[in-house]
Structure 1
């Protein structure tokens, strides 16, 4: 699943191209403070001041300048004076060049163009930073971890990740950040300020990078391409996470269960599993969530908002990730290949679950009976056996089920439609699942083999039932006597001996039976 959106990324990347670093207006002042027509005279004056040792020193921090004008501008950092206001929005700046740069935000003007890719920038300093993207030169090497950088700025930021220096602190909540820019973005959470509005819909964002990434959903633009499989992505983070699929690397480890993840955001989401804290309460149904993301998804189930629509068949989904997975049905794309057999899957979760059939791993354990399962869904459905809960009701016969998939299969019983025809024997099926199982009877494919006696089966669940002969396991206990049975349906049939219930009726003679097999036998012998 393309699974949770983070607006503020962590700084652990070796070359954090996803961080949209634009210099503050004050920084741009110093980088662009020499007007073109006076550039030569000012340079000569600066050199003359240095030669005659006429440095102008800041009395507050000790920094020295060759010109008094530069010192005067610098002092405004300490005094907070901003004498240059914008007439359009009222924002003020410490110097004229800062205001000039800011006005380009209103006008949309970007006069500095990259001659290699055509990208436009609103300042020469931002263009200079961008040009390093086209250069393979990375002269700044971290002595602690070996990562290399093309930019001194990002190299210094990276060093802070080792020293854990976070000297920019939010006054509202106390959270600290490595850069002033990240603090400024964070503060918008408290102010609710969303400066960047989408040109195509009503959404707005706290960061320009988030806006650009969002607008690519509308335009379909995917400028970040994988060199190994040519898959494209709308943002650098998507490409970076995708590359881990090829390398198999998962650099983010959970310190509580040793599970590994390809991104810090996935790790952060996972950590909520280990926390009992569930602060997000649904006011409509009372369900609680540890994650705000999943809480918001849940709310959509009440409002029935499905705003991600498949262009091929019109089916709609709650999340973009679910739509993406669905589209693989149309494209036939199966990215995830089994390491043990020839099978491939559309989802990484399906692959993991499948590979556990080969490895025998069952990491999900029931705390009530210590039974283990290879996937969370198996454990979740099993827990209904203990609780007796069956939350999915058939609206045609009031039969209840422990899962939506079981209900869906059952509903085909009420439908006369049987679209799946066997070309070998003419038998028809309402369910694709049972049709495929039936085909195995013709091909004699029995790929589920018992390790104890070598007997083979067409289905995994038939093998599982068979293995109880060897283990002696009888998990289904009668509520009325001490008898135990290997199968759930046998338990149901047995309990009807105690209750006297006979739910299967012969339509010809009116006789009733406690199980379907008895009814079938009766119809063959007595009511042909």
Structure 2
């Protein structure tokens, strides 16, 4: 009996000890595990931070290269914008005239055309420019710098754009396409001028006779007709000319006439002259008057004839104001009647 009592006392004592002891070894072990977990999480977070810091550098070093022109970009957004240039999409619109552009830089450059400010002045010729880069490119003309060299023929150019246009002469590339007739052009300016032929628009008007032209160079050539200045003089016969093309054709008259008609043996300076002559042998008259049934072998003869119907007299004498249907009639008039008159007349703009 006493043995049982002692055993019960021992069990009660152990239970009291168990209740008073909060299992320090287990708590310590659990704390150690939590500390280990926290310590393990801390380096993991540090590794993630390092990965996030390294991620932008990976994007920066990655290059997006255009397969069409070879230009590379660090950012995909810039690359995507660049690809729209090759697609031909014109997403940038001028709010002043409605003209569209494939890139924002082209639009920005265009906007200067609406502004009268041209602060950059050439010290050599006084020409003004809206952009400093335009002035720098212009200065290369005065300095004789042609640092953009063609790899095919060695010819040098002042700008990259001029070189690219020239290289199309070697490659035969004509990327500018007329959607009305299918004709292709090497330069955008060529297509633009060609489209004026379809529209019939002739925005450049002669102040002397009112005749219109599709470009400023054509107008300048025409205006020499109204002037007595003929700077191109033939060294063989002394005949003078206003236009370089006519001067060169005339010089061939003193040399060889290697285009010979197989029907009559008559020779000509150019192949065009021979073709016009051969129509005489065929009897063909392809140029028909729109006012009457008459037809002609040459387009120039048709134009002169149609002026009888329209009463147009585009060739004006700037000395006396008299006008004529043909340039030949004006020349005869000047030589015979208006040789010494100095008073100049200008046609009134309507």
> The TM-score by the shorter chain falls in which range?
0.5 to 0.7
Q: Deviations over 1:23-72 (max 9, x none)?
A: xxxxxxxxxxxxxxxxxxxxxxxxxxxxxxxxxxxxxxxxxxxx999999
Residue 340 of structure 1 contacts residue 358 of structure 1 at CA under 8 Å; is this kept in 2? no
SS of 1:200's partner is coil
Match of 2:106, SS? helix
- Asked if structure 2 preserves the Cα contact closer than 8 Å seen for 1:199 and 1:215, the reply is no
Q: What is the distance in 2 between the residues matched to 1:298 and 1:207?
A: 31
**What's the secondary structure of 1:85's corresponding residue?**
coil
**Contact 2:149–2:156 at 8 Å: present in 1 too?**
yes
Q: Is the 1:166–1:178 contact (alpha carbons within 8 Å) kept by the matching residues of 2?
A: yes
* Residue 156 of structure 2 is aligned to residue 180 of structure 1: no
Corresponding position of 2:323:
344
The Cα of 1:342 is off from its aligned counterpart by 5.7
3-state DSSP of counterpart to 2:112:
helix
Please state if 1:192 is matched with 2:172. yes
More helix by share: 2
Q: Does the 8 Å contact 2:120/2:129 carry over to 1?
A: yes
**2: CA distance, partners of 1:203 / 1:215:** 10
1:279-327 CA-to-partner distances (Å, cap 9, x unmatched) read 99547648464xxxx53464465588998876545857766x7766665
Distance 1:253 1:100, change over 3 A: farther
1:371-410 equivalent positions in 2, closer than 5 A? none
Q: How many residues in Structure 1 have an aligned counterpart in Structure 2?
A: 271
- Coordinate RMSD, CA, aligned: 4.7
Report the Cα distance in structure 1 between the residues aligned to 2:162 and 2:153, rounded to whole angstroms.
Answer: 14
The match for 1:267 among 223, 244, 264 is: 244
Please give the secondary structure, in 2, of the residue aligned with 1:143.
coil
Q: Which of these residues, 98, 101, 118, is aligned with residue 118 of structure 1?
A: 98
Is 1:134 matched with 2:123?
A: no
Instruction: Tell me how far apart the structure 2 counterparts of residues 182 and 234 of structure 1 sit (CA, whole Å).
Output: 23
Deviates more, 1:303-312 or 1:350-359: 303-312
Q: Residues 513-528 of structure 1: matches in 2 within 5 Å? A: none
Give the TM-score, by structure 1 length. Answer: 0.41
Q: TM-score, normalised by structure 2?
A: 0.57
Q: Would you say the 8 A contact 1:138–1:150 is kept in 2?
A: yes
Aligned to 2:47: none
Query: Are the aligned partners of 1:300 and 1:306 in contact in 2 as well (CA < 8 Å)?
Result: no
Cα pair 2:285 2:296 within 8 Å, conserved: yes
* 1:217 counterpart = 2:197: yes
Q: Structure 1: give runs of 5+ residues left out of the alignment.
A: 1-66, 74-81, 362-528
Residue ranges of structure 2 left out of the alignment (5+ in a row): 1-56, 341-350
2:202–2:212 Cα contact (<8 Å) kept: yes
Q: Which residue of 2 aligns with 1:354?
A: 333
Counterparts of 1:230 and 1:243, CA distance in 2 = 11
Q: Please list, as runs of the form range in 1=range in 2, the aligned pairs for 1:229-308 lying within 5 A after superposition.
A: 232-239=212-219, 253-254=231-232, 261=242, 266-267=243-244, 270-271=247-248, 273-274=250-251, 281-282=258-259, 285=262, 287=267, 289=269, 294-296=270-272, 298-299=274-275, 302=278
Tell me how far 1:230 sits from its aligned partner.
7.2
